Structure 1
Amino acid sequence: MSKFDSIRPYYDSEVNEALCASLNHPMLKAMMNFTFPDVADEVWKEQLKKTHSIRDFQINFVYQSVQKVLEKSSDGLTTSGFEKLERNTPYLFISNHRDIILDTSLLNVSLFDHGLVMTASAIGDNLVKKDFVLKLSKLNRNFLVQRNLSPRELLQSSKLMSEYMYHLLNKENRSVWIAQREGRTKDGNDATHQGVLKMVAMASDENNVMDFFKKLKIVPVSISYEYDPTDALKMPQLLAQAKDEVYIKEKNEDFITLLSGIIGQKKRIHIHVGDIIQHELDMIKSDFDNSNKQIQALANVIDDSILQNYKLWPTNYIAYDILHQTEQFVTYYTKEEKQLFQRRFEMRIDTDNPTVRDGFLAMYANPVVNKMKYHNAK
């Protein structure tokens, strides 16, 4: 048994068996009927029976599913920065995280479109408790982040994941995607948690951890949705935090959020890949002799890239102006866009509750606030 078996996706040799065992699952039928509405079930079933690799499954099925999601629930995906990346080269993509499934799916569609190495992507094991969803994630090259562990188990799990990510990048020539923090950003404030970088560094074989990070070719990724399809679903947790209460998830909450993110309206979406972090690592190494300070400095570099390259939409400016009772950004949106946004949030949340109302608006407004720290938002 490989030491990575508890967290790894399927090997290609396991793909066909997993697909054949799932052929009659109602969720697979729903996915295929959504993706190929004019194709008889027997046709896609026969095609799946002939599929023997993750790449074939991703290109012939998942890629098509994502295109259908974009067609049905968005006004299109735009990208920038991908021309900086080299073919056949693996990168460690560290990304802000808004949607459970789409963030990585859209990045992989963009990487494939640009002829680049697609990623193995981290996903919390709390999100794949249903057997079919676990199978689907392993067919889509997800590896598991184990949640709700004791401190001792967490240390062992983090070390295993770090070693696996390094194995993918260094031995399998496979890019890796990981979120800059545990869980999705609920309040629009994208920030890299040092714990994530410390976990990545556990596999380091270098005297200085910055030399190890240089080998990984870190690329920050900024993804922004004009409308967050799960915005209202994030409100109960923000409300609990405001009251200093421990938030307990409802049964199936993660699964409902996962589906809402896929089918909910997003309007426009943009993904920007930042510059590969290289020379900054040399500067950090010379400026700081303490590894904790070095990791904090690297987190700041990643944040600077993600926040500066985050695409602001009219919804962000509208929310900022409503929240701060100003017209500072009135030239960045139309009256119709403002009316549409107001109607949306009045329909989705309890606007009589100031905590919920302001929390919802801040979720959209905070990227503007963050960008203003660098230069005038635009």
Structure 2
Amino acid sequence: MMDEFEAIRPYADAEVPAVMSRLFTDRDFLDILLRFRFPRLANTFGWLLKPIIAHRLRREFATIDSVDALQHKIEAYVDRTIERATDGVTYSGVQHLQPGRAYLFLANHRDIVMDPAFVNYAVYHAGIRTPRIAIGDNLLQRPFVSDLMRLNKSFIVRRSITTRREKLAAYQVLSAYINHSIREDGESVWIAQAEGRAKDGDDRTDSAILKMVHMSRKDQPFAEVLAALQPTPVAISYEYDPCDLAKARELYTRATTGSYTKAPGEDDASIALGITGYKGRVHVHFGAPMSQVADDPKELAAALDREILCGYRLFPVHYLAYRMWDAQDPAISVPSAAELFEPAELQRAEAQWGARLAACPPEQQPYLIQQYANPVRNQYRLNAGLPL
């Protein structure tokens, strides 16, 4: 059965040792580790340090022979990375999840690598199996990145194909794989609510994603197929987005020129900044899994949006940005940050927000403000019973 998924599926336990030995001889991979671990020595002593790093990796991972064992082994590194770049990660709603059940996690999408990493962090620490992760092939240009992601339970979404026929065939396989993973393998799946990150902070579920999930079981009602997958809304809230200035620049460029072309290596830079950049506090909220869903993809998308947007944690910076926004909504009443937060917390936020604004060219600032203000508008509209 798994043969039809060969090109996109994560690696199986039996493949782990061979893939790891391939990684430990990959020059690009060792180069990145070297620059990360010894930035000052990389250029001068790279030739000497690379074989030492490869030897240490082989020794340290010699006994790893399954995906679970690998995730368990790297959890300490992941925790350290998370703790270094945040002021703490909190999570809520994990009580809705039962060990041994598989879910379709549909999450808002702000960061390429860290969104699923924070979901993994939350479920791992709650004693729930980590999900398989959907990742676009546009991010897997180098073989070692593909190997790393597929070792870590990622499966590939083929975005780089262009013809309609190829796209349909790829989505059919993707749909079948998601259904197979949850129904047959009992493995949860994480997928972003829409293709691409929400660069303007306006998190919305694209109903086309939900239609794609149904695609391989067209002979059964939409509601029945989706309900069997236990769609679970996930809201990931970053106090500060390390890529916010880059997103503001892109939005400004699109607005003024009509298009935006990524520079070579821009995705790699976004990934690196997203992982290591300062995020402040991070909160992950799991809504209750939906055992009954609407028979209309747009209605299900709206239901997911309500859960995700209301589960989003608003920090002082969001209220500070909303106060500056020229698109404030007259239909809602939003309190000031001073009414909601302690003076010391607010003071820290004002200093950090001021520094971010100062680093952003004046013409791009409206797009920076919008990223932080949109979640406030969306949540307050929903809480007031108004449509989005």
- TM-score under structure 1 normalisation? 0.89
Give the letter aligned to residue 346 of structure 1: A
Contact conserved, 1:319 with 1:362, CA < 8 A, in 2? yes
Q: How does 1:51-200 map to 2 (within 5 A)?
A: 51-61=64-74, 63-148=75-160, 149-200=162-213
Root-mean-square deviation over aligned CA pairs: 2.1
Give the letter aligned to residue 71 of structure 1: E
Contact conserved, 2:233 with 2:286, CA < 8 A, in 1? yes
Give the letter aligned to residue 151 of structure 2: L
Identity %: 32
Deviation, 1:323, is 2.1
Q: How does 1:322-361 map to 2 (within 5 A)?
A: 322-324=324-326, 328-333=336-341, 334-347=346-359, 349-351=360-362, 353=363, 356-361=364-369
| SS of equivalent to 2:5 | coil
Give the letter aligned to residue 21 of structure 1: R
- Partners of 2:260 and 2:90 in 1: how far apart? 35
| SS of equivalent to 2:3 | coil
Question: Residue 238 of structure 1 aligns with which residue?
Answer: 251
Question: Residue 288 of structure 1 aligns with which residue?
Answer: none
Contact conserved, 2:248 with 2:365, CA < 8 A, in 1? no
Question: Residue 312 of structure 1 aligns with which residue?
Answer: 314
Deviation, 1:74, is 0.5
Deviation, 1:29, is 5.2
Deviation, 1:32, is 7.5
Deviation, 1:246, is 2.1
Deviation, 1:123, is 0.5
Deviation, 1:264, is 0.2
- Partners of 1:271 and 1:307 in 2: how far apart? 12
- Partners of 2:246 and 2:77 in 1: how far apart? 24
Contact conserved, 2:320 with 2:336, CA < 8 A, in 1? no
Q: Deviations over 1:121-148 (max 9, x none)?
A: 0111111111211111111111111113
Give the letter aligned to residue 137 of structure 2: D
Deviation, 1:33, is 7.9
Structure 1, 104-113 or 262-271: larger mean CA deviation: 104-113
Q: Deviations over 1:255-274 (max 9, x none)?
A: 10000000000010000000
- Partners of 1:33 and 1:49 in 2: how far apart? 23
Task: Quickly say closer, same or farther: Cα 1:58–1:31, change in 2 above 3 A.
Answer: farther
Q: Does 1:27 align with 2:32?
A: yes
Question: Residue 44 of structure 2 aligns with which residue?
Answer: none
- Partners of 1:192 and 1:100 in 2: how far apart? 17
Task: Quickly say closer, same or farther: Cα 1:209–1:217, change in 2 above 3 A.
Answer: same
Give the letter aligned to residue 112 of structure 2: I
Structure 1, 2-11 or 80-89: larger mean CA deviation: 2-11
- Partners of 2:157 and 2:119 in 1: how far apart? 19
- Partners of 1:33 and 1:105 in 2: how far apart? 24
| SS of equivalent to 2:59 | helix
Of the three residues 201, 224, 229, the one matched with 1:211 is 224
| SS of equivalent to 1:86 | coil
| SS of equivalent to 2:102 | coil
- Partners of 1:271 and 1:310 in 2: how far apart? 8
- Partners of 1:45 and 1:31 in 2: how far apart? 18
- Partners of 2:218 and 2:208 in 1: how far apart? 18
Structure 2: tracts of 5 or more residues without a match: 40-51, 329-333
Deviation, 1:207, is 3.1
Q: Does 1:371 align with 2:371?
A: no
- TM-score under structure 2 normalisation? 0.87
- Partners of 1:132 and 1:94 in 2: how far apart? 27
Query: Would you say how many aligned residue pairs link Structure 1 and Structure 2?
Result: 356
Task: Quickly say closer, same or farther: Cα 1:219–1:327, change in 2 above 3 A.
Answer: closer
Structure 1: tracts of 5 or more residues without a match: 35-39, 286-293
- Partners of 1:151 and 1:184 in 2: how far apart? 23
Give the letter aligned to residue 314 of structure 1: P
Deviation, 1:247, is 1.5
Q: Deviations over 1:79-109 (max 9, x none)?
A: 0000111101110000001110111111112
Deviation, 1:340, is 2.3
Deviation, 1:26, is 2.7
Deviation, 1:168, is 0.6
Question: Residue 45 of structure 2 aligns with which residue?
Answer: none
- Partners of 1:66 and 1:272 in 2: how far apart? 19
Task: Quickly say closer, same or farther: Cα 1:336–1:110, change in 2 above 3 A.
Answer: closer
Question: Residue 362 of structure 1 aligns with which residue?
Answer: 370
| SS of equivalent to 1:177 | strand
Question: Residue 15 of structure 1 aligns with which residue?
Answer: 16
- Partners of 2:111 and 2:236 in 1: how far apart? 10
Q: Deviations over 1:334-370 (max 9, x none)?
A: 23421321122212x102x1xx111100100100000
Give the letter aligned to residue 314 of structure 2: L
Contact conserved, 1:238 with 1:359, CA < 8 A, in 2? yes
Give the letter aligned to residue 150 of structure 1: T
